[in-house]
Structures are given as structure tokens and as C-alpha cells.
Amino acid sequence: MAKIQSIRGMPDVLPDASAMRLWVEDRLKAVLARYGYAHVRMPLVEATALFARGVGDGTDIVEKEMYTFEDRSGESLTLRPEGTAGCVRLCEEHGLLYNQTQRLWYQGPMFRYERPQKGRYRQFEQLGVECFGFPGPAIDAELLGLCADFWRELGVQEALTLELNTLGSPESRAAYRDALLAYLRPLADQLDEDSQRRLERNPLRILDSKVPETQALLADAPDLAACLDEASRAHFDALRRYLDALAIPYVVNPRIVRGLDYYTHTVFEWTTTALGAQGTVCGGGRYDGLVERLGGRPTPGIGFAMGLERLTLLVEAHGAAPAEAAPLDVYVLALDETHSAEALALGQRLRQALPALTVQVHCSGGKAKARFKKADASGARYALILGETEVAEGTVAVKPLREGDAAQTTWTLPALIDHWREGLPSPSGTDVATRR
RNA sequence: GUGGGCGUAGCUCAGCUGGUAGAGCUCCGGAUUGUGAUUCCGGCGGUCGUGGGUUCGAGCCCCAUCGUCCACCCCA
């Protein structure tokens, strides 16, 4: 019978890698807490129409990357390919946007049917941040400052570049679209195949094309900046001043247009050259029209999402290494099976009395020699030993495993707990450093 | 969807021009009846990704297929 294995592009995360991810996530959460952002959770599955309308049905994501299926009642459902649409739906459905502002974040898996490669998976995890009800550019700057604090916290600030652009108001964007179309239509037969397909559906995306011939044609294309109305220009100019005030360096890249239809005004990507082809670690922007488009009252919104797999790869390559995974403090073993009950109980009492202590109890059977081998392999600093004698006299033997030939000592449990109450003695010397 | 590299033990990998499947690590046992990490000895572990073909004979050559990695594309 064929072996069952994980679905293509949906990799398992093994203990070492997961420890790294948990560390990264903890650091990110610490920053979010400092900013006072509130956490929400959306379902992984939404009505297909939410993404068709929210993300835009001319986008690559909706056109060819969604996991869409019918449930047993025949309703069309989709595994979320991104978080913003669902977050807006959540806010609308529960009245979170009525006469109030929101600063929210969420984290979880997203699903896109693409060919897997480095930093790109079919199930991948994003941490997303969305703010609602803030029309002015201050929140744009706050979010970019939040990102910058993330990078500093993880030690990857040198590896990331902020690329910034503005699409202007929906009116500006529409005006530019018309201007671009007027310029490109006569040149249509010189465009590459993808760009021709995009010409009517999503012409701004052509700016993003990496085909050299197409880029050459674009050299004389109308300038988006020239189509910006006064208010759009003021918004962008103010944002740039705020970024200067926050000492956040950036480059304006007019080619950043983003692949999701809902963006207006500010759009940005944090990119790196350290991860191969998938260089965007974090991307986002303002989407002032989205809430209305999904049936709500006009509400300004702005947000970003970052790919935790990519970010973790970057931290591994360039960032602050997490402290070595804390090894066990104590490994409890009975010398044979007859005292397993006492060993289990000892472990439990230690954990209750000293919650900071990490305690593992031997559960694998075997002879004394095998038990000590396990104790050693566990990385624990001390083995707590229960044999015939100890159980008889109500004591426990404490054997240091990482201090050369330090002597084994015998304690009553209350005395040992008292002895360790202020923490274990600091490890002696670096030569005994042990992983895991 | 397109292109290229790679699939041999749990892991990392060798395997000559086609001629009886190997090493290191890990794990288990013994040397040592209640004491680990060193050392020595022994052991477990494989439909060589899968299916077909060529051949007296295939891990090796051919075809197909699946997986994986990288790139295009796209994005997180």
C-alpha cells in the first residue's frame, strides 16, 4: 500500500525548526503588546465570494491559486489565501467599525496553490496587522515603525529594505489606469503574453513585469506621480516626513503596485536579497475602499502581512540567534520498574513546588545503565535517583551530570526543594555546555 | 502551468565501465547484578522513490510516473 505523506507544499515543522519559529513569534508578539494591538482569530475557511470581491477576481490569487471546494450543502468555500478580507468581514459582522477605530493583529496559515520553492509554500503562515478608521498618514507611519521594531527585535534590520510607493486615491488610481491604457493599447502586440492578458483586467500589474522587452516599453509610460491629485500627494508627502522623524530609511519604488486589487494610497514591501527569488518578507498598504466594497460603510483601512517562514529563514541567515534551547534541569529516574510510581510522584511534586524547574521523568523502562544513559542524553543538569535505599528512608539521591566528577548527594524532598527555591546553582564552567 | 538538479538505512552520504548493497552517526545489547557521557566488542536497520523496458545480469542504461529542491511566474 502506498505510504501516506504530507501534501505537496505543506511541510511539517520539526522540533528544532519549530523552536526557532516559536522564538520568532514570541519576539513579534512582545512588540505588538508594546503597541497595544488587539488579537483576533478568523476561520481558515470563508465564503468564496469574500475573496472574489475583496481580493479582486482579476488577481492571480483568485484566478488560479485558491483552494476552492463545495461543502456538503453545495456552498462554495475557500481556504483563505490571505487575511485582510476575512479580517474586514469579521469587523463588519460584529460591528467593530461602528464609530470607532481598531488596531488588530492575527496569525495563522494561509493557502495558495502555487509551485513550491524556497520561501514559498502552499500552506504558509502569516502574521497580519490591520488598522481601521484612520484616514490620515500617521497610522501609515505607525505601522511602518512597528515593522521596523519587529526587525530590530529580531536583529534583521540590516537585511531588509523598505520599498514604498503610492497609488493615490481611488480617483487618482482610475485616472492613472486610463492614462496607462491609452499609452499601452497601441503597443499591445509588443507586450509579453502575460502583460497582454493583464492589459484590460489589471493594467497596473504590467508595471511589475520582469520581462526586459516590456520594461523597455514602459520607459516612456505615463508617470503615476503625475496623475496624483492634491490630497493623495499631501498624504504621501506627510508620510515621508513622518518616516524621516522616525528615522526609518526607505526607497520610493514606483513599480510597487501590489497584486491585490484593494490597495490605494500607500503601498510598501520590505524586501531582502538574502532569500533567493522570494525576497518579500512583508507587504501591505492602505485599502480605503475595501470595507465599502465588502458591503460596509466607507472606512479607511491599512495593514500588512508578513510570511513567518521567510522571516524565520532570514533570522536564521542574518538575525539574532535565540538563546540555546533551555536544557532540562532535572531527570528523575527510578533504578528499576518497582519504583516508577514514586518517580512519577516525585516529578509531579517538584514541578508543583518549583514551577520554574524543568523536570522530566524516565518512562522507558530498562536497566539502571540504560536509565542513566537516557538521563545523560536528556541534557539534564541533575539526575534524581530513587532506588531501594532512597525509597526506604524517604530520600532522593541527586547526581550532577554536567560537573565533572562532582559527588552525588542525598536529600529529603523538602530540604531539596528549599535548597533549589532560589534557583539552581549556576552551571560551572563552559566546558559542560550541552545542547537541548 | 514551464524548465533544470536530485531521490540508496531513522539522519548525512559513498557505491568504479552494468557483475553478491556499504560507511559514519543514531539506536539496542554486552564488557560492569545500584550509576551516564570515553573506550572495546556485538547487534537491529534497505522492495536502492514507484512502475515498466533493455540485458545472461540493473542502485548504475532507457521510458514513464511520483516526490523534493531551485528557477520562471507570482507573492508572504
* CB < 7 A to strand B: residues 44-83, chain A: 59-61, 65, 82
Residues A314 and A334 in one domain: no
Q: For residue A218, is pLDDT > 80?
A: no
What's the burial of A399, exposed, middle or buried (CB within 10 Å: 0-12/13-18/19+)?
middle
CA A420 / C1′ B33 distance in Å: 34
> Would residue A174 count as lying in a domain?
no
Nucleotides of chain B touched by protein CB (<7 A): 1-3, 27-30, 32-37, 67-76
Number of domains in chain A: 2
pLDDT of residue A210: 67
CA A11 / C1′ B37 distance in Å: 35
Residues A19 and A136 in one domain: yes
- Residue A28's pLDDT band (cuts 50, 70, 90): very high
Residues A350 and A285 in one domain: no
What's the burial of A322, exposed, middle or buried (CB within 10 Å: 0-12/13-18/19+)?
middle
Residues A265 and A370 in one domain: no
Q: Nearest nucleotide, C1' to the C-alpha of A60?
A: B74
- Residue A124's pLDDT band (cuts 50, 70, 90): very high
State what percent of residues in chain A have pLDDT above 70. 94
Residues A124 and A44 in one domain: yes
Residues A134 and A44 in one domain: yes
Q: Nearest nucleotide, C1' to the C-alpha of A194?
A: B73
3-state SS class at A434 = coil
Residues A312 and A374 in one domain: no
Q: Nearest nucleotide, C1' to the C-alpha of A376?
A: B36
Is any atom of strand B within 7 angstroms of residue A335's beta carbon?
yes
pLDDT of residue A174: 81
Q: Nearest nucleotide, C1' to the C-alpha of A380?
A: B36
Whole domain around residue A89: which residue ranges?
Answer: 15-169+229-318
Average the pLDDT over A95-117 and give the result. Answer: 95
What Rg do the C-alpha atoms of chain A give, in angstroms?
28
Angle between helices A413-420 and A340-353 (to 10 degrees): 40
Is any atom of strand B within 7 angstroms of residue A9's beta carbon?
yes
* The three three-digit cell numbers of residue A12, written as one number: 511539517
A130 vs A16: CA distance, rounded Å: 31
> Would residue A432 count as lying in a domain?
no
Residues A339 and A293 in one domain: no
The interface predicted TM-score (ipTM) is: 0.87
Nucleotide B74: closest residue by CA–C1': A60
pLDDT tens-place string over residues A234-245: 999 999 999 999
A143 vs A157: CA distance, rounded Å: 15
pLDDT of residue A125: 96
Residue A120 DSSP class = B
pLDDT tens-place string over residues A298-340: 999 999 999 999 999 999 888 777 666 667 999 999 999 999 9
CA A272 / C1′ B14 distance in Å: 37
pLDDT tens-place string over residues A174-192: 888 888 888 888 887 777 7
Residues A145 and A76 in one domain: yes
> Would residue A379 count as lying in a domain?
yes
Residues A269 and A381 in one domain: no
pLDDT tens-place string over residues A360-397: 999 988 899 999 999 999 989 999 999 999 999 999 99
* The three three-digit cell numbers of residue A172, written as one number: 487618482
> Would residue A389 count as lying in a domain?
yes
Q: What is the domain-level CATH number for residue A413?
A: 3.40.50.800
A105 vs A142: CA distance, rounded Å: 14
Residues A259 and A375 in one domain: no
Residues A293 and A164 in one domain: yes
Contacts of A26 (CB under 8 A, 6+ apart): none
Average the pLDDT over A428-432 and give the result. Answer: 39
> Would residue A4 count as lying in a domain?
no
CA A2 / C1′ B55 distance in Å: 29
pLDDT of residue A343: 96
Q: What is the domain-level CATH number for residue A71?
A: 3.30.930.10
* CB < 7 A to strand B: residues 166-195, chain A: 194
Is any atom of strand B within 7 angstroms of residue A367's beta carbon?
yes
